[in-house]
Structure 1
């Protein structure tokens, strides 16, 4: 497959127009770090897709279709490309492998549960399903909650909690319809579900930012506004403040640390 050429800046020859095929892997990562061009990322994915394929094949015949595993592995490869720092001196394959495997294992762990529930609840849910079959044969009737609780030496509340959580094992379609008694038209499941007001998050985030900004001095507030609201570069901010770019960079890190501390404080 021939990769289309794009206007890239070679790390050793700034401003020179090169085809992606002429760059080695390290140069490609350096260029991608500079401009985040999706064409460059796609080229990196193409070069290293074999890692996702090899790792995916290790999980064949484990209860999940290979194509699904391969898709997850490919996504893990993209995550690895986004996070890789070529300056650290690691081989990308050594960095990408644990990232991809981690994504695959997480997919296996969460597969089947449309909503993440505590592992103890998942395990108890499995025991309940087995116990139902055993008690059905022993009692010659459908076992009650108390029967299951006594058999598993659990409280009835724990059994009910696990049985309710088991309902998220198979997600329901939003197009599922219910008989709307007394009405000509059936009602759809999606009509019964509430919707999160997006303005809540906006207001909450805005209030947090305003509150955190009160902890900043005048210069820090200017750096914050120019960098993250006006989208100015560090060099532009440095020129307006008559300081070095390194000074702006340090201030930026200091501001972020203040925001982190304020966020932790509000979460307590």
Structure 2
């Protein structure tokens, strides 16, 4: 069975048996990275719970979970057990802040000014509130007056917000000629990808030969079988953080191979 180097330490069993407050105190005094790893592992459930709340909003769950884990690490590094706060209460706003920041910066398919992103959010909130107050769908003029901005600014933000979630190529349209529906992909011209697929497959097989067995397994499970890092970690009996590090190493190898190929 595969084990990470982290679990080879003789002191790890004693660390894992310690209560959370004691571990935070020892971390503050010693900056022991093994203790830090245990605290991360012990609180990954918080990142998972918060990530699920933001799922199905246009960004893959795995990406949200990774950002949440980063927020968790920030929280662990900043937490002061002597202030009397429960760690979960301290970590939650930190993790949510990182997730919201990621959505704000990465959630838009096309980069638009921060001013437009913020105004778009205010417009969506205003629509809900004004619909309840007016008992009808609010007009652009209603929204502009409520937000104390111009109608042009409202229209600009509403138009820009369309790039947040791009239209799927699988969307169907009624055909005027027959009963068969036509999807958007059929209406858009595309290049013949046959030759590029051959090149990509050749590159993939050539690069995979340079991976060890663990890296190959993680690559296949992650990108072909679409498993999460958590599921892969359980199957290999290693930590999710170890899977994350190995995945980064795999991607780095692919990046270097691409650079070598392009030279």
TM-score (norm 1): 0.40
Larger Rg: 1
Higher relative contact order (CA 8 A, sep 6+): 2
TM-score (norm 2): 0.40
